[in-house]
Amino acid sequence: MLPYAVVDYFNRSFFDRVHRELPEIFKGLAEALRSGLTIAESLRHVAETYGGEIGKILKNAVVLIELGLPLPQALEKSVSRFRLPALERAASIISTAYESGGRLIDVLESSSQIFGALRAYEDERLTALRPHMMTIYVSTILYVVLALTILYVFVIPLSKLQGIPGAMGKIDPGVYTAIMYFAGIIVAFFGGMLVGKMRYGKASAGLIHSAAQMSIVAFSFYMAEMFLR
């Protein structure tokens, strides 16, 4: 699970950086064209000025254009390997505006505003969701505290009373510890999946959060075993 979760996390981080860069890229292209640069020169200028993930893609597109490939095909080829809808839409907007001629600058400025508004909405939604996501982490930590309290304040001390006349029947602390531990792992796993569903709309996107919460559970039980026994 962990390898997939790490790869998925880095993929989503890349996608998020692309979404954040798009408004500035469109704005930079519009300003470069207004200054008198050609579309190819504008792409190069923006790639060098803004850098980032999209900057690398634009540099690749400029190289293809210089090799003789038409701009629409160069952009399409540069973004196709990423399979990211936002990049494909951006390339389509630039290509369509370029082929239609005329108000290319206006189209790019409008695109900058639209992508910026979408980014602002996404940031606002994440801000609203963050307290709920933190609540899931807190609930996992609270479970660990309660489980360890039950084990080390009640179960284990009671197990040491075995054999004393009038004491309870046989209690195996190992069984109770295993039950509490695996129940915590299950809570952590589904808690992480819930975070992914809330944040990205896809449960599998929360595997990195599942791994983080499961690590909290495992580390807490390990430390308790080391220092409280």
| Residues 6+ positions from 176 with CB-CB distance below 8 Å | 150, 151, 155
Residue type at position 111:
S
Mean pLDDT of 146-156: 91
Name the residue with higher pLDDT: 121 or 170: 121
- Per-residue pLDDT band for 131 (boundaries 50, 70, 90) equals very high
The C-alpha torsion from 150 through 155 and 157 to 159, rounded to 10°, is: -170
Residue 221: what pLDDT? 94
Name the residue with higher pLDDT: 150 or 96: 150
Helices (H), the chain: 2-34, 39-50, 52-66, 71-80, 85-100, 104-149, 156-159, 173-200, 207-227
- Listed by start position, the domains of the chain span 15-102, 128-227
Is the per-residue pLDDT at 49 higher than 60?
A: yes
Residue for token digits 């470069």? 32
Q: Span 15-102: which CATH code?
A: 1.20.81
Give the chain's mean pLDDT: 86
For residue 84, the number of C-alpha atoms closer than 13 Å in the C-beta half-sphere is 21
Residue 169: what pLDDT? 52
Is the per-residue pLDDT at 136 higher than 90?
A: yes
Residue 203: what pLDDT? 87
Report the chain's terminal Cα–Cα distance, integer Å.
Answer: 31
Is the per-residue pLDDT at 90 higher than 60?
A: yes
- Per-residue pLDDT band for 102 (boundaries 50, 70, 90) equals low
Give per-residue pLDDT as tens, 60-72.
888 888 888 888 8
| Whether the Cβ atoms of residue 200 and residue 214 lie closer than 8 Å to each other | no
Give per-residue pLDDT as tens, 156-192.
888 777 655 444 556 778 888 999 999 999 999 999 9
Residues 199, 101: Cα–Cα separation, whole Å: 39
Residue 163: what pLDDT? 56
Residue 167: what pLDDT? 47
Residue 65: what pLDDT? 87
Give per-residue pLDDT as tens, 5-33.
788 888 888 888 888 888 988 899 889 88
Give per-residue pLDDT as tens, 195-224.
999 888 888 888 899 999 999 999 999 998
